[in-house]
Structure 1
Amino acid sequence: MKKILLLLLIAVSFSGCEKDDICTEDTTPRLVLEFYDSSNPANVKNVVNLKVKGEGALNDLDLDVFNAESKIKLPLDPTKNSVKYSLIMNSTSTSANEDFLEFNYTTQTVYVSRACGYKVVYQLNADDGVVQSNAASPDVPWVQNLTIQTNAITSENETHIKIYF
């Protein structure tokens, strides 16, 4: 009798619990860069052997080499207000060309749901959201122009910055 009562008590106590929640919503977004042909700005252009390294970005990231891709996603550091990336075009050849992009932003923590918790969204600064510079070597910058499509980085479903090369 005691065993049945104990089992009944356990069953009743677990019946009040909810199922495990699964997070199906967006979490903290990454910055989406899309590459375009500078001679024909309407055309998307794939990058060739693009190596991306982050300075001060989540433990100095050393990302893979992107090849034959027109869109990449870069993480921003939610504990800082800026991050600098080195983008090296043709990184596997002797004609490698390195440019730097520094992203300056503010952060805001947003509650998503009980399952997902909180996420950080970013807002690129209006006056210096993206600062472009060239490597110390006397090469010509491969990034010829860039445009900020949206300062609000709230999801990865849209392009945030277009880069023309």
Structure 2
Amino acid sequence: MKKILAFLMILGFASSSCEPDDICDPTTPTTPRMLIQFYDIKSPTVLKNVDDLKVIGEGMTEGVVLNPTATGDAKYLANGNNILLPLNTEADHVKYKFILNYGNKNPLIVNEDYLELNYTRVSSYVSRACGFKTTFNLDEENTFLVTDSTTADELWIQYAIATQYNITSENETIIKIYF
């Protein structure tokens, strides 16, 4: 009888250990970031690289990590034609400062513009291991506002357009910025 009881206890402990759904698979879609692409204002179909772009969210001190493989301050700088930005999962509004040519010794070419985004959030359950994810729906009437830190004459972001309003994955361009 004791052997049967011991066997049942061992079987119970073995079957109550980690289940496959206790580990979130890295390929499972989670809260997406927003894909922004940059274009040449003179040739609107041509992608254009930004130089030393730093993006700082309202309330942040360091900035958004745009280059996760870099170290030091370089991880906050983008030098390409697209970036992925996270949206706030606890509010329906976010404001970012886009600093072009960040850290340049010539202060005349460093330019700061602000991008404010309005959206609604939708939370959905993924699994016990992954928890919840949030997707976003940009406000189609009042999607975003682009402003400059000083005057509108100095905007480096000359035009911006939302190409899509539902942010459900990181593979689709949401906003195109022309400069």
For the superposition of Structure 1 and Structure 2, which TM-score range results when normalised by the shorter chain? Answer: 0.7 to 0.9
The alpha carbon displacement at 1:70 in A equals: 0.9
1:119 aligned counterpart, secondary structure: strand
TM-score if structure 1 supplies the norm length?
Answer: 0.87
Unaligned 5+ runs, structure 1: none
For 1:112 and 1:106, how far apart are their aligned partners in 2?
A: 19
More deviation, 86-95/101-110 = 86-95
Larger relative helix fraction: 2
Contact 1:55–1:61 (Cα < 8 Å) also in 2: no
Contact 1:149–1:160 (Cα < 8 Å) also in 2: yes
- What is the letter of the counterpart of residue 15 of structure 2? S
1:12 aligned counterpart, secondary structure: helix
CA RMSD, 1 decimal: 2.1
Larger relative strand fraction: 1
Q: Which residue of 2 aligns with 1:84?
A: 95
- What is the letter of the counterpart of residue 177 of structure 2? I
Q: Which residue of 1 aligns with 2:15?
A: 15
Contact 1:97–1:139 (Cα < 8 Å) also in 2: no
Q: Percent identity?
A: 42
- Are residue 46 (structure 1) and residue 57 (structure 2) matched? no
Q: Which residue of 2 aligns with 1:147?
A: 161
Q: Which residue of 2 aligns with 1:98?
A: 112
Residues 47-101 of structure 1: per-residue CA shift (max 9 Å, x gap): 1011111114xx566130212x111011111111101000011112222011100
Count of aligned residue pairs for this structure pair:
161
2:55 aligned counterpart, secondary structure: strand
Unaligned 5+ runs, structure 2: 65-75
2:156 aligned counterpart, secondary structure: coil
For 1:80 and 1:143, how far apart are their aligned partners in 2?
A: 25
TM-score if structure 2 supplies the norm length?
Answer: 0.81
Runs of 4 or more above 6 Å deviation: none
For 1:76 and 1:113, how far apart are their aligned partners in 2?
A: 22
